[in-house]
Structure 1
Amino acid sequence: MTRTTPPPPAIRHGGDLLAAVRRYGRSADDWLDLSTGINPDGYPVPPLPADAWQRLPQDDDGLAEAAALAYGAVQALPVAGSQAAIRTLPTLLKRGRVGIAALGYSEYAPAFARAGHTVVPLGEADFAHADGDGDGHGTRGGALANGLIDTLDHLVVVNPNNPTARLIPAATLAQWHARLAARGGTLLLDEAFIDCHPTQSLAASAHLPGLVVLRSLGKFYGLAGVRCGFVLAERTVLDPLQSALGHWTVSGPARVIARHALMNTAWQSATRLRLTQQGERLAMLLRCHGLSAIMQPLFCWVPDAEAPALHDALAHAGVWTRLFDAAGDCPASLRFGLPPDRDDAWQRLDLALGG
């Protein structure tokens, strides 16, 4: 059966707390906002030198080198968050058929469609791989592993996936990359949530033809407002991308903060452990209330046909979650971000779930 491109889905994001305020009439400071997968106790921003505000951003300030070192990559291009790359990269890749998860980050499909590509929507079952599905269950593999990948020119994989928490092993992704690259195709790998799984990153291979890896400070570091991310790829990708984006895409203050965060390995190690523990705590709490939670350290995904009703009930209790419509062979679902590391925040969520 030939898969056809559906109308581009509406672009929606978490963090839309003001929409909740308008809809439910509760003041902004009276919400527990769990609608994003952003670390709620993020990197402590240091005092910034005055020249970070006063001078034009300097491309040779060491940020690219710091990012490459932190991610174990050969080279990196700083960009104004992954968003800048997501909007621009499709215009630089040869037009073709692009596999994109139907339930995933909603910016990719419209960006590729606008650039003239044919978007091939993929269900979660399509991503199953022959060496297990990530939960210890054997599988013969989904459509990608069984030949669909050979009909695609490009494949977008968010790993771990947002919101389904699907984590594809690095070895499987390397195999998919090899199959695409052999035909001149590209694996575009979004690793926005990979920081708690460093051994599963393909950053060290991103200089190879046909592989582009995106990294971000927004989720693990809790610095979404800084709008700083990195593209890891070969120079034949990075140079045209840099030319298309132009000068000064990352602000001076953002560059200072990013260098600080990327070089603080002690904070990274401690945060990796803390987020894993808190993700497990969140999953346990949700399961205690009868919900089937699938956990990543920064969020839990709850597929449930009753998700819209639960989303509304929690909102009436002042807890804002992210609601997803049924898509990609999955029912409607909720994503719960981590509460702040305070007892009152966890107690509020527990009470809301019990109501």
Structure 2
Amino acid sequence: MPTEGGAGHDLRHHGDAEIRDDGAALVDLAVNVRADTPPGWLREHVAASLTGLAAYPDGRAARAAVAARHGLPVERVLLTAGAAEAFVLLARALKVRHPVVVHPQFTEPEAALRDAGHTVDRVLLSAADGFRLDPGAVPGGADLVVVGNPTNPTSVLHPAGALTALARPGRTLVVDEAFMDAVPGEREALAGRTDVPGLVVLRSLTKTWGLAGLRVGYVLADPETVAALERAQPLWPVSTPALAAAEVCVGPRAVAEAAHAAHRIAADRERLLAGLGTLAGHGVTVASPAEAPFVLMRLPRAAAVRRRLRALGFAVRRGDTFPGLDREWLRVAVRDRTTTDAFLRALERAITQAAAEQSRPAG
């Protein structure tokens, strides 16, 4: 697993660009937000908070609710305007000399570090061994390590033991668990752990609950780190509606609903994987085992297939903006059975069309 520095990828490209490029009405398989969200009870709860917009936001109740959800004191919780704000705070507030980002993964952490003036090294995981994490590949001198679990876009769920093996005195270990509540039983989660030195866990409420437009997430870390990040925040960084959502989304009812959804997502993912398996003869391979609400697939002429899929009404996420991947990779969100079946038919057609296009004589 080689280590490299430098940019060379469009770190600011995100899945929403795939459905905004030309204004076409597309089935969205490019963004990893759960399709049937936010549910009605959550919309009603957020709407009810609008009567309090004249007052400045008060995050105490939401912070206490997050702390209770993970069995932590409130001093270990920081509410943020989505996980993206947390990456910016970490990049700006911590005194970092040698940051390392484990790729392929969500590109915003590296972008935030570079914007803050840091030189970032990369550890590139290999498709040949299933993008598995080898703690020994991370340079010993790294004082900040960022890794996703489960990882976007590979859908790999790293063992908790492999992650904690990265921890050591003088190092901040940032684990992005934005998709962990989509994993049945939240296996391998580190949220709530206080025995791992330097551990910072990030959670997002935008994926499972369909709140990308509201911007809400949180940081779990030791009180000193939380205080440093909080000093870097502007005043009232999380709005009153977002705080209302945060409080209710970590309550018992929502946690139970998310757990149920995780099992449904797992079943829907198996159907998608089975269908993709039937296309192996077309050169389709899938990063496996997939554990997140999306899968990463590799296929010949992926860029042409993606364009053909758009013409057939489906948007998928290009993979070449992720360090460690190239133009042959596409990420596909897990959806319900009907949507998946329609997508698989369109994918086979797009593959056939792309192959025919390539074999057509020039001129």
Range of TM-score over shorter length: 0.7 to 0.9
Name the Cα RMSD after superposition.
Answer: 2.7
Deviations 1:97-121 (A, max 9, x none): 2221342211122221232332111
- The separation in 2 between residues aligned to 1:16 and 1:108, in whole angstroms, is 18
Cα offset, 1:208, TM superposition: 5.1
Partner of 1:106: 107
- The separation in 2 between residues aligned to 1:36 and 1:222, in whole angstroms, is 11
- The separation in 1 between residues aligned to 2:2 and 2:249, in whole angstroms, is 46
Identity of aligned residues (%): 29
Give yes or no for contact 2:105–2:147 (8 Å, CA) kept in 1.
Answer: no
Q: 1:300 to 1:73 in 2, by over 3 A?
A: farther
Cα offset, 1:298, TM superposition: 0.8
Q: Which moved more, 1:329-338 or 1:45-54?
A: 45-54
Partner of 1:188: 174
* Residue correspondence of structure 1 range 317-328 to structure 2 within 5 A: 317-325=312-320, 328=323
Q: 1:301 to 1:4 in 2, by over 3 A?
A: closer
* Residue correspondence of structure 1 range 262-281 to structure 2 within 5 A: 262-263=250-251, 264=253, 265-281=255-271
Partner of 1:216: 204
Instruction: State whether structure 2 residue 52 is matched by structure 1 residue 59.
Output: no
Cα offset, 1:85, TM superposition: 1.1
The two structures have a TM-score, normalised by structure 2, of 0.83
Give yes or no for contact 1:292–1:303 (8 Å, CA) kept in 2.
Answer: yes
Give yes or no for contact 1:228–1:250 (8 Å, CA) kept in 2.
Answer: yes
Partner of 1:161: 151
Find 2:340's aligned residue among 343, 346, 349.
Answer: 346
Give yes or no for contact 2:155–2:292 (8 Å, CA) kept in 1.
Answer: no
Deviations 1:170-222 (A, max 9, x none): 11111211xxx32x111111111111331311112257541111000111222
Q: Which moved more, 1:222-231 or 1:109-118?
A: 109-118
Give yes or no for contact 1:79–1:228 (8 Å, CA) kept in 2.
Answer: yes
Find 2:30's aligned residue among 12, 28, 35.
Answer: 35
The two structures have a TM-score, normalised by structure 1, of 0.84
Deviations 1:17-52 (A, max 9, x none): 553325xxx3x3xx1111011111224124232434
Q: 1:18 to 1:171 in 2, by over 3 A?
A: closer
Partner of 2:245: 257
- The separation in 2 between residues aligned to 1:325 and 1:277, in whole angstroms, is 28
Deviations 1:272-311 (A, max 9, x none): 2111111112212222233322323410110234221221
Partner of 2:302: 307
Q: 1:125 to 1:346 in 2, by over 3 A?
A: closer
Instruction: Give the counterpart letter for 2:5 in structure 1.
Output: T
Q: 1:2 to 1:281 in 2, by over 3 A?
A: closer
Cα offset, 1:150, TM superposition: 1.0
Instruction: State whether structure 2 residue 275 is matched by structure 1 residue 285.
Output: yes
Partner of 2:331: 335
- The separation in 2 between residues aligned to 1:125 and 1:350, in whole angstroms, is 27
Deviations 1:234-288 (A, max 9, x none): 1111112112112221111111122222112331221121111111122122222
Q: How many equivalent residue pairs?
A: 331
Partner of 2:223: 235
Partner of 1:138: none
Q: 1:297 to 1:281 in 2, by over 3 A?
A: farther
Give yes or no for contact 1:300–1:337 (8 Å, CA) kept in 2.
Answer: yes
Secondary structure of the corresponding residue to residue 284 of structure 1: helix
Cα offset, 1:5, TM superposition: 2.5
Q: Which moved more, 1:303-312 or 1:32-41?
A: 303-312
Secondary structure of the corresponding residue to residue 168 of structure 1: coil
- The separation in 2 between residues aligned to 1:77 and 1:169, in whole angstroms, is 25
Q: 1:293 to 1:189 in 2, by over 3 A?
A: same
Cα offset, 1:227, TM superposition: 0.5
Q: 1:248 to 1:259 in 2, by over 3 A?
A: same
Q: Structure 2: any 5+ residue segments left out of the alignment?
A: 350-363
- The separation in 2 between residues aligned to 1:80 and 1:174, in whole angstroms, is 27
